[in-house]
């Protein structure tokens, strides 16, 4: 099918020389151009604090593209065409007088998209300055996470943005929603009646969501230490995954139908009291260990670190959803840095059949599992039980997967990076894959009570060795309920 070009737009990237822009956003824009999706007249404005010759800054962007786009996807022709779309403007985003120059770069007939790849503390100021020079009318704004660091601060950011932009022109990024396999959760659940009829407490015993990262802090100690893994990963990516698994079927695929259902899940999350924290939540911090056979430092020995920090780099928790569909079905969430491998996966554990007729010693095999692998090696596997082959086997059971590996099955298709999909959807004006204000706020409300509980208890995070699956307490968290982390691993 030929690629459908978008309307022309002016894409103003605030924070164009920052880590996110250089590592993710410019490569994603390059890929969209390479795929023939950008309108010929689309312009990209790289906006950053640095003054001086624009050509020097544009060269830095070119170097980043050469570094971050895979060599086989980078051709000189594509690169030259892409770079010709770029202009650079040095400005302080918080100085109103700097916006006169920006005004000159924006053609009035084009759709303006303003992408804020800056700290959230600057979002309100940029919005006010855009409005002051008449650049807010019709403009779409894209906000990076995290929006604030708790409910109060996130409301302040959202309110400052809302002074200028209505909700239907605000695109809050959670890049997990742009991942191909995360979107597939909607297709898997709602295009296959096989699953949806079973998707409740009658048939599912529990759900696991693991987002393990192999990397450590990667030079982001300053940011990360203020956040921690709960704010950095659970508040957004893991709770969004939980919502997509747990939500009721939306009446259609419109942004608000999906968001309404997600909000209902967030509202139904059972609060975890201080008394329950020790049993229901585990926080950890990595100490020196190894990764891929190489020694790696502990969190407190990372570059620019503070040796006193008790910020968590790992969280495992049990969440319960108080509604008809999920009563009594725990959702076990786990995420950490410096784990043995990069792995994001969801495991749906189905209940055993009501009456068991096979050999007693095979009982532990019973119970289908649906394993949804989000990254890497994207795919879906359904563990089913069959009879072992052979004349001498009797009715011996074995468990094996019905497997769908996306890369093997759909060989021709390149799996796009999440940011490519998200930028494309902003250009299309489609908010499906973006997070509404109330989702962010309910997620903060639930996370705030955990952080507040930790403060009250004053307990340090539990140490775990870099390259392991987290503190032993995270194993106890699930074995206490008579279960174990799938394939651990």
Ligand X SMILES: NC(=O)C1=CN([C@@H]2O[C@H](COP(=O)(O)OP(=O)(O)OC[C@H]3O[C@@H](n4cnc5c(N)ncnc54)[C@H](OP(=O)(O)O)[C@@H]3O)[C@@H](O)[C@H]2O)C=CC1
Binding residues for NADP(+): 49, 92-93, 145
Q: How far is the CB of 19 from ligand LXAUTJHC (least distance, A)?
A: 10
Q: How far is the CB of 466 from ligand X (least distance, A)?
A: 20
Q: How far is the CB of 213 from ligand LXAUTJHC (least distance, A)?
A: 5
Q: Tokens 């989702």 sit at which residue?
A: 439
Residue 231 or residue 373: which is nearer to ligand X going by CB?
A: 231
Q: How far is CA 455 from the centre of its chain?
A: 26
Q: Tokens 């030259």 sit at which residue?
A: 80
Neighbouring residues of 20: CB distance < 8 A, sequence distance ≥ 6: 117, 144
Neighbouring residues of 149: CB distance < 8 A, sequence distance ≥ 6: 226, 227, 231
The residue of the chain with the least Cβ separation from ligand X equals 18
User: Is 237 marked active-site?
Assistant: yes
| Backbone φ, ψ for residue 402 (5° rounding) | -90, 115
Binder of residue 110, out of ligand LXAUTJHC, ligand X, none (CB less than 5 to 8 A by kind)? none
Binder of residue 232, out of ligand X, ligand LXAUTJHC, none (CB less than 5 to 8 A by kind)? ligand LXAUTJHC
Binder of residue 231, out of ligand LXAUTJHC, ligand X, none (CB less than 5 to 8 A by kind)? none
CB 216 within 8 A of CB 337: yes
Residue 228 or residue 330: which is nearer to ligand LXAUTJHC going by CB?
A: 228
**Would you list which residues are annotated within the binding site?**
49, 92-93, 145, 175, 179, 213, 232, 337, 342
User: 3-state SS of 399-441?
Assistant: EEEEEEEHHHHCCCCCCCCHHHHHHHHHHHCCCCCCCCHHHHH
Q: Tokens 């002016």 sit at which residue?
A: 10
What does the CA dihedral 143, 146, 150, 152 come to, rounded to 10 degrees? -10
User: What residues make contact with ligand X under the rule CB under 6 A?
Assistant: 15, 17-21, 48-49, 92-94, 117-120, 122, 144-146
List C-alpha distances in Å: 72 to 75, 82, 304. Answer: 8, 16, 35
Q: Tokens 């959202």 sit at which residue?
A: 158
376 preceded by cis ω (within 30°)?
Answer: yes
Residue 33 or residue 213: which is nearer to ligand LXAUTJHC going by CB?
A: 213
Residue 102 or residue 346: which is nearer to ligand X going by CB?
A: 102
Residue 232 or residue 425: which is nearer to ligand LXAUTJHC going by CB?
A: 232
Q: How far is the CB of 239 from ligand LXAUTJHC (least distance, A)?
A: 13
**Would you list which residues are annotated within the binding site for substrate?**
175, 179, 213, 232, 337, 342
CB 366 within 8 A of CB 356: yes
Binder of residue 18, out of ligand X, ligand LXAUTJHC, none (CB less than 5 to 8 A by kind)? ligand X
Q: What b/e readout covers 262-282, taking b as 16+ CB neighbours within 10 angstroms?
A: bbbbbebbeebeeeebeebbb
What is d(CA 329, CA 409) in angstroms, rounded to the nearest whole number? 33
Binder of residue 243, out of ligand LXAUTJHC, ligand X, none (CB less than 5 to 8 A by kind)? none
Q: How far is the CB of 222 from ligand LXAUTJHC (least distance, A)?
A: 13
Residue 117 or residue 130: which is nearer to ligand LXAUTJHC going by CB?
A: 117
The residue of the chain with the least Cβ separation from ligand LXAUTJHC equals 232
Given 57, 149, 206, 237, the catalytic residue: 237
Q: How far is the CB of 416 from ligand X (least distance, A)?
A: 17
Q: CB count, 10 Å around CB of 77?
A: 8
Residue 125 or residue 250: which is nearer to ligand X going by CB?
A: 125
**Whose CA is closest to 158, among 176, 170, 140?**
170
User: What residues make contact with ligand LXAUTJHC under the rule CB under 6 A?
Assistant: 213, 232
Q: CB count, 10 Å around CB of 68?
A: 16
Q: Tokens 């003054």 sit at which residue?
A: 51
For residue 155, give both structure tokens.
């409301």
**Whose CA is closest to 99, among 67, 133, 68, 74?**
133
Active site (catalytic) residues: 237
């Amino acid at each position: 099918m030929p690629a459908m070009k978008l309307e022309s737009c002016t894409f103003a990237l605030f924070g164009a020389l920052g880590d996110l822009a250089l590592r993710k956003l410019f490569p994603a824009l390059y890929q969209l151009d390479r795929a023939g999706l950008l309108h010929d007249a689309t312009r990209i404005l790289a906006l950053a604090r640095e003054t001086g010759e624009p050509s020097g800054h544009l060269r830095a962007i070119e170097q980043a593209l050469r570094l971050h786009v895979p060599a086989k996807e980078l051709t000189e022709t594509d690169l030259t065409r892409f770079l010709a779309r770029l202009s650079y403007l040095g400005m302080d985003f918080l100085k109103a007088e700097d916006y006169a120059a920006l005004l000159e770069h924006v053609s009035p007939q084009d759709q303006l998209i303003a992408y804020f790849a800056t700290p959230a503390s600057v979002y309100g100021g940029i919005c006010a300055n855009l409005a002051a020079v008449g650049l807010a009318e019709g403009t779409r704004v894209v906000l990076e996470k995290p929006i604030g660091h708790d409910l109060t601060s996130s409301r302040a950011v959202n309110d400052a943005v809302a002074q200028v932009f209505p909700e239907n022109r605000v695109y809050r990024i959670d890049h997990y929603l742009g991942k191909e396999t995360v979107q597939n959760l909607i297709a898997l659940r709602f295009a296959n009646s096989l699953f949806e009829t079973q998707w409740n407490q009658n048939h599912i015993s529990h759900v696991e969501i693991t987002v393990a990262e192999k990397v450590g802090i990667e030079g982001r100690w300053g940011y990360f230490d203020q956040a921690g893994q709960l704010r950095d990963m659970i508040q957004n990516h893991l709770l969004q995954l939980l919502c997509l698994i747990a939500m009721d079927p939306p009446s259609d695929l419109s942004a608000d139908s999906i968001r309404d259902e997600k909000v209902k899940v967030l509202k139904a999350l059972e609060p975890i009291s201080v008394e329950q924290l020790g049993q229901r939540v585990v926080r950890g911090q990595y100490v020196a260990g190894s990764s891929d056979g190489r020694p790696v430092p502990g969190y407190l020995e990372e570059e620019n670190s503070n040796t006193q920090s008790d910020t968590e780099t790992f969280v495992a928790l049990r969440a319960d959803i108080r509604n008809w569909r999920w009563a009594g079905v725990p959702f076990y969430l786990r995420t950490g840095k410096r784990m043995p491998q990069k792995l994001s996966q969801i495991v749906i554990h189905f209940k055993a059949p009501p009456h068991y007729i096979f050999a007693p010693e095979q009982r532990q095999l019973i119970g289908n599992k649906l394993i949804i692998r989000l990254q890497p090696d994207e795919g879906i596997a359904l563990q089913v039980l069959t009879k072992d082959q052979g004349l001498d086997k009797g009715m011996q059971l074995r468990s094996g997967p019905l497997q769908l590996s996306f890369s093997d099955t759909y060989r021709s298709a390149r799996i796009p990076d999440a940011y490519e999909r998200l930028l494309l959807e902003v250009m299309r004006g489609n908010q499906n894959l973006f997070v509404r204000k109330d989702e962010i706020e309910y997620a903060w409300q639930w996370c705030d009570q955990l952080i507040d509980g930790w403060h009250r208890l004053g307990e340090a995070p539990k140490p775990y060795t870099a390259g392991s699956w987290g503190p032993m307490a995270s194993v106890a968290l699930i074995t206490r309920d008579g279960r174990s982390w799938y394939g651990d691993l």
